[in-house]
Amino acid sequence: MPSFKEIMDHRNQNSHFCILLGIRTTQMDQGSAKGEMPIREHHENAVGSVHGGCIFSLADTIGGSAAASYGHKMTTLSSDFHYLTAAMGTEKLYASAREIKHGKRICVFDVEVSDDKDRLIAKGTFSYFDLGVPILDH
């Protein structure tokens, strides 16, 4: 199995959507991950807060990184996501994911998004399906 660093580097370098948004996985361990997204003007909606789609994308990506820590390609099955406060006046958002359940094919994670003032912005539960394909050819 590849190392956590190899999986993290692969995800950071090959997810074109994440590169576009500036999302990076910064830490990965078995069943957990952390990441961040610097906020730029193009992340904001018409009222000046970070667009909910950007916040969700950060959460889903970091949840996916935690799921990928087992070395297989994963795809999102479902999520239950709650926006708790507007992300305004922040330069960076952070996400952390921790495993709730690791099954044979389905993994479930708790994911939180916070801002650079340590305010909890959003929280959700994400389920991923293990495609049974190694994430890297080793």
**Which distant-in-sequence residues (6+ apart) come within 8 Å of 64 by Cβ?**
11, 74, 76, 126, 128
Where residue 33 falls (left for φ over 0; alpha for ψ -120 to 50; beta otherwise) is beta
With 0.95 as the threshold, say if the pTM is over it: yes
- Whole-number Å distance between alpha carbons of 46 and 100: 36
What average pLDDT does the structure give for the chain?
A: 97
Instruction: List the beta bridge partners of residue 53.
Output: none
CA dihedral 7, 121, 123, 126 (to 10 degrees): -40
Q: Which fold has domain 4-134?
A: Thiol Ester Dehydrase; Chain A (3.10.129)
With cut-offs at 50, 70 and 90, classify the pLDDT of residue 50: very high
Residue 110 has pLDDT above 70, yes or no: yes
Condensed to tens digits (0 to 9), the pLDDT of residues 28-46 reads 999 999 999 999 999 999 9
